[in-house]
Amino acid sequence: MLRKILIWMLTAFLVISILPLFAFAAEEPVLRSRGVLLMDMQSGQVLYGKNENERFYPASITKIMTAILALEHSSPHDQVKVSRLAMEQEGNRVYLVDGEVQSMENLLYGLMLNSGNDAAVAIAEHISGSVESFAELMNEKAKELGAKNTHFVNPNGLHDPNHYTTPYDITLIARYAMNHPKFREIVKTETLPWHGKEWESVLYNINPMLYNYEGANGVKTGYTDQARQTMVVSASRDGRVLIGTLMEADLKQTIREDAAALLDYGFNQFATKQLAERNQVVTTLSFDKKLSTDVIIAFDWYYSFAKSQGPSIQSQIHLNPAAQPPLAAGTAVGTLEFTADGKKIGSVPLLTAKDVAAPPGFLGIGISKLFIWWYLLIPLPFLLFGFLVVRSKVRAANQMRVQNFRDYQNQNYY
């Protein structure tokens, strides 16, 4: 059932994310980053895009995928032994050494705060046995999340010509990751003491937005010579949460200014409204006086729109007429469809709130059992008719034999 709901949610998201919000957005920001995407975290709708489906090198924002896979495929208490390959990684590190043992939780903080390339390889080898196998896992997860123009080669984002993503894809991945409580806790952490085998220090989160933008709560920055400056940023204000990606900016200052302008644009120009609440009762299904169930909404659902427009939003319940007991709790029996100014904007599945047994049939026999008995009785009239026909023919034959015998006895012979 959870898998079915997830499929419904992803389908709804893909429909919503392509709505033409750009058409009625005003005063779009002037940004110098080559690739940009802004998304509402709650609705999943795209609020702004610039070369959002073009491939770019991600650099260290790759580590968003590494972190979420670590959280899903290991325990924070796992003890991870560092290899020589991990120790020899270049760029940002937490200075792990060959044979050192660190908890998975410590490595995740080293990965996301200090952008440790060595921590990324240690995590990958612990989960999959090798960097190559872990990259396969990364690509499988990317496809699962709808990131179709992404290909990972390593867990840290060090340059490889075959290691790329798009602003749209990496935002999808980051949005998914930000729904994990531990991931959110890690990426909003500003400082953390680090106790390594050969390095004692304090980790400082290198995401500058945490210190320079009101409501910022994540997620990751990156840089290589080929990728230039990259950033995925999220922020929360007045109950709304936005997440954006900026790629291929020339300077740190440029990408910080672009990120602030992008978020300001999203908060100032758009609003988001919750249209459906998970487990909210919307109607009741009644099959007879004793058999009924509440019909509930499968998951929370939000809709984003330009503040200048303020659309008229309506909803309509569509129930499946074929839904008949017995029904298990959580069975999809219809949809709640939403329209804005008469145009369909999406729908959410409706589920049964409890089990509904088969209604009682004749003499208390369950309806399903009664149907079985009726099927068994269907041949009975034909058998009875055949019996009567045969019986009639046998009786006629017997009467004929008796009559013939009498005629024989009464004959006069000359």
Count the Cβ atoms, other than its own, within 10 Å of residue 48: 22
Q: Which one of 17, 33, 43, 115 is the catalytic residue?
A: 115
Residue closest to 16 by CA, chosen among 351, 348, 349, 312: 348
The SS3 call for residue 43 is: coil
How is residue 73 written in tokens? 């495929």
Residue 47 φ/ψ, nearest 5 degrees: -100, -25
Count the Cβ atoms, other than its own, within 10 Å of residue 341: 12
Q: Catalytic: 236?
A: no
DSSP code for 267: H
Alpha carbon distance 401, 306 (integer Å): 99
Q: Which residue has the tokens 């020339």?
A: 250
Alpha carbon distance 147, 65 (integer Å): 11
Q: Are 123 and 155 in contact (CB under 8 A)?
A: yes
Residue 251 φ/ψ, nearest 5 degrees: -130, 155
Q: Which one of 63, 141, 188, 220 is the catalytic residue?
A: 63
| H or E stretch at 144 | helix 131-144
Residue 73 φ/ψ, nearest 5 degrees: -120, 10
Q: Which residue has the tokens 């491939």?
A: 55
Q: Catalytic: 286?
A: no
Name 338's bridge partners: 315, 346
Alpha carbon distance 77, 87 (integer Å): 21
How is residue 398 written in tokens? 């017997």
| H or E stretch at 126 | helix 117-128
Q: Catalytic: 115?
A: yes
Q: Are 323 and 333 in contact (CB under 8 A)?
A: yes
Q: Is the dihedral of CA 266, 152, 137, 103 positive or negative?
A: negative
Catalytic (active-site) positions: 60, 63, 115
